[in-house]
Amino acid sequence: MGSDLRVYPDLEALSRAAAESLVELAAAAAAQTGCFSIALAGGQTPRRLYQLLATDYRGRTPWPGVEVFWGDERYVPHDDPRSDYQMARETLLAAVPLPRENIHPMPTDAADPEEAAQAYESVLRAHFPSRPWPRFDLVLLGLGAEGHTASLFPGSPALVEERRWVVAAEVPVAPPRRLTLTLPAINHARHIYFLAAGAGKREALAQALAETPDVARCPAAGVRPVEGEVVWWVDEAARGGPGATSEGTM
């Protein structure tokens, strides 16, 4: 399967290119259906993209029609600095005219993460009624150095989930308790954008793009849209292209 791999000199350039494409998707979706549903990624790589959406691209995004979800979340309070919601709030959500009711954070206040996962699945099912899987207009994903994406880590039982949209997961990095979309829930999106930068992601990127995916070893390789497209927005350091340095560009 050919991958749409787009390589840029650095994080700034890939973030700008992804922002340009994202606002075009949002405008087209909003014009067609009045809504643009996006699942945000956590971690550090998307920060610059979010900042650009809140500044240079703010005026080109149809915010009232944007519905914001998350692809995964650390199971910590929303005001915890490790929270993916907190990162999106400080880099994007606090700076754009999004109706409060359009922001759907993953809940992290239930005693049992499993209960929270089921609650979030109900939120998604309410937004994507009478569908076997959610149909996000766009899912944003990052890439871990060892091949994880969202909170789907190598060897996780969540990787073989074929029915549920959202599950609780224990992961080998802090904070260990997570909520995450499952692979089928991701793979039914119309568009999936991976963002990856830095030499540290080089091996994982190669594994994720391999012709024969080893999903147990590299969960990102399991992101294969059913009826949609996946675009990889990467820098030269992650791709190992010309001018790549051993230090990477992070």
Question: In the complex, which residue's CB is closest to ligand 6PG?
Answer: 142
Residues 49-78 that bind ligand 6PG (CB under 6 A): 72, 74
Contact assessment for residue 139 and residue 150, using Cβ atoms and an 8 Å cutoff? no
How far apart are alpha carbons 25 and 231 in whole angstroms?
A: 13
User: Please, what is the minimum distance in Å from the beta carbon of residue 129 to ligand 6PG?
Assistant: 26
- When the beta carbons of 175 and 241 are compared against ligand 6PG, the nearer one is 175
Stretch that binds ligand 6PG, among 31-39, 41-49, 128-136, 184-192 (CB under 6 A): 41-49
CB-based contacts of 231, cutoff 8 Å, min separation 6: 4, 6, 21, 191, 192, 193, 194
Q: How many helices (H) and strands (E) does the chain have?
A: 7, 9
User: Please, what is the minimum distance in Å from the beta carbon of residue 206 to ligand 6PG?
Assistant: 16
Which letter does DSSP use for residue 174 in this model? Answer: S
Instruction: By CB under 6 A, tell whether 240 contacts ligand 6PG.
Output: no
According to DSSP, the residues that pair with 36 across neighbouring strands are 66
User: Applying CB under 6 A, what is the total number of residues that bind ligand 6PG?
Assistant: 14
Instruction: By CB under 6 A, tell whether 43 contacts ligand 6PG.
Output: yes
Residues 133-152 that bind ligand 6PG (CB under 6 A): 142-144, 148-150
How far apart are alpha carbons 230 and 183 in whole angstroms?
A: 13
Q: What is the CA radius of gyration of the chain?
A: 17
Residues that bind ligand 6PG (CB under 6 A): 41-45, 72, 74, 84, 142-144, 148-150
